[in-house]
């Protein structure tokens, strides 16, 4: 009987330790740019500035927090100039927090050693109207945002690392009003130009031959290419907006590593456009491409299918036929 009582007491003691919740001090909050690029001030050229927010539980117990459907009630971004001046709040966050409405949320549990991530657009939180350099820090409110959460003992939010954000002046419109894009590494101006389908394909192939990924991706309709695979298309349809952004980012990385659709990312040693046909919004370009395989040269025929979107031709699909070696 004593033995049974001992083991029962020992089991209860272990259960108590297992149920000890994680302390906020043992939870890391980190942020990073989801898809780092050259950013511009708000306006017509102001694309979203996506930041991935990650909570990592480094404690032996479970960590629980409330995540609101409207994320502005769970997270905040403190954006400051290099002179330590806080930027004004964005109109979006002022409007959402000023509304008299119910705040719906779900409770998230992060187990020991696990992480939980989501993506947010900084432009929803700070008014980015001027070019310059800024420092960004995220704060998460485990019990949802309240004015008292900012200065009441015991309700302080979790704070993240800091990111340096550089905002350029608005991008100048290119031919046909298409905004210029910038290469984040070289600062060269890239723009989707309104040019014929055969020139688009040649531009993409030249970019690949020179290992210039920013040029290779410029005229690829990645969303359409993801949908060309039935399994990926089902996943895409079931994903949220954040999930789709993650899918596009992962697809680009998989293309770079040649783990998916390797035919389109193979590096040709030479190519020749054989035929181009287009009408209305669709076009087809047939190209013969040569690849160096060891001591042999392999020849393939690629048929690229393009669609015109906002007067710009984008590659959406392709087929490959092997023509033998030389």
Comparing 5-19, 29-43, 107-121, 189-203, which segment has the lowest mean pLDDT?
Answer: 5-19
pLDDT value at residue 21 = 54
Q: From the CB of residue 319, how many other CB atoms can be counted at a distance below 10 Å?
A: 11
> What tokens were used for 140?
């998460």
Q: pLDDT at residue 147 above 80?
A: no
Q: pLDDT at residue 45 above 50?
A: no
Given pLDDT bands bounded at 50, 70 and 90, which one contains residue 96? Answer: confident
Higher-pLDDT residue of 179 and 162 is: 162
pLDDT value at residue 176 = 46
Can you tell me whether residue 137 is helix, strand or coil?
strand
Percent share of the chain, pLDDT over 90: 47
Q: From the CB of residue 181, how many other CB atoms can be counted at a distance below 10 Å?
A: 19
Alpha-carbon torsion angle 195, 199, 204, 208, nearest 10: -150
Given pLDDT bands bounded at 50, 70 and 90, which one contains residue 10? Answer: very low
DSSP code, position 43: S
Given pLDDT bands bounded at 50, 70 and 90, which one contains residue 122? Answer: very high
Alpha-carbon torsion angle 250, 252, 258, 262, nearest 10: 120
pLDDT value at residue 274 = 96
Can you tell me whether residue 268 is helix, strand or coil?
coil
Given pLDDT bands bounded at 50, 70 and 90, which one contains residue 323? Answer: very high
Can you tell me whether residue 17 is helix, strand or coil?
helix
- End-to-end Cα spacing for the chain: 86
Q: pTM higher than 0.85 for the full model?
A: no
Q: What is the mean pLDDT of the chain?
A: 83
DSSP code, position 89: B
Given pLDDT bands bounded at 50, 70 and 90, which one contains residue 145? Answer: confident
For the segment 94-119, the average pLDDT, to the nearest whole number, is 88
For the segment 15-37, the average pLDDT, to the nearest whole number, is 69
Q: pLDDT at residue 212 above 60?
A: yes
Separation CA 287–CA 319 (nearest Å):
11
pLDDT value at residue 14 = 46
**Maximum average pLDDT range among 168-172, 191-195, 265-269:** 265-269
- The tens digit of pLDDT for each residue in 227-255 reads 998 889 899 988 888 888 889 989 988 99
Q: pLDDT at residue 80 above 80?
A: yes
pLDDT value at residue 198 = 96
Q: pLDDT at residue 319 above 50?
A: yes
Separation CA 185–CA 138 (nearest Å):
26
**Alpha carbon distances (Å) from 241 to 95, 199, 214, 225:** 22, 32, 23, 17
Sketch out the chain's domains with CATH numbers. Answer: 18-168 (2.60.40.2360), 175-325 (3.10.450.50)
Sheet holding 282-293, edge to edge: 270-279, 282-293, 296-309, 312-325
> What string of DSSP letters covers 61-84?
S-EEEEEESSGGGTEEEEEEETT-
């Amino acid at each position: 009987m004593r033995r049974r009582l001992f083991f029962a007491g020992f089991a209860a003691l272990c259960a108590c330790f297992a149920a000890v919740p994680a302390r906020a001090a043992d939870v890391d909050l980190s942020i990073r740019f989801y898809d780092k690029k050259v950013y511009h001030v708000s306006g017509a050229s102001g694309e979203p500035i996506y930041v991935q927010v990650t909570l990592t539980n480094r404690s032996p117990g479970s960590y629980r927090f409330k995540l609101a459907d409207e994320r502005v009630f769970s997270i905040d971004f403190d954006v400051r100039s290099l002179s330590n001046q806080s930027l004004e709040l964005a109109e979006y966050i002022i409007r959402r927090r000023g509304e008299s409405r119910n705040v719906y949320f779900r409770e998230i549990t992060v187990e020991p050693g696990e992480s939980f991530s989501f993506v947010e657009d900084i432009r929803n939180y700070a008014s980015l109207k001027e070019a310059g350099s800024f420092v960004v820090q995220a704060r998460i409110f485990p019990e949802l945002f309240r004015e008292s959460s900012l200065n009441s003992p015991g309700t302080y939010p979790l704070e993240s690392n800091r990111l340096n954000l550089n905002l350029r002046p608005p991008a100048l419109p290119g031919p046909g009003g298409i905004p210029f894009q910038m290469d984040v590494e070289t600062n060269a101006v890239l723009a989707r130009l309104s040019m014929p389908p055969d020139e688009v394909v040649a531009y993409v192939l030249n970019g690949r031959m020179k290992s210039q990924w920013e040029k290779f991706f410029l005229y690829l309709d990645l969303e359409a290419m993801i949908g060309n695979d039935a399994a990926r298309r089902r996943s895409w349809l079931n994903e949220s907006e954040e999930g789709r952004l993650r899918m596009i980012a992962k697809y680009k990385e998989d293309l770079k590593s040649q783990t998916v659709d390797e035919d389109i990312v193979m590096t040709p040693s030479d190519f020749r456009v054989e035929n181009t046909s287009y009408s209305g919004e669709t076009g087809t370009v047939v190209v013969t491409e040569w690849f160096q395989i060891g001591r042999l040269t392999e020849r393939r025929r690629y048929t690229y299918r393009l669609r015109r979107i906002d007067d710009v031709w984008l590659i959406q699909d392709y087929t490959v036929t092997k023509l033998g070696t030389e």
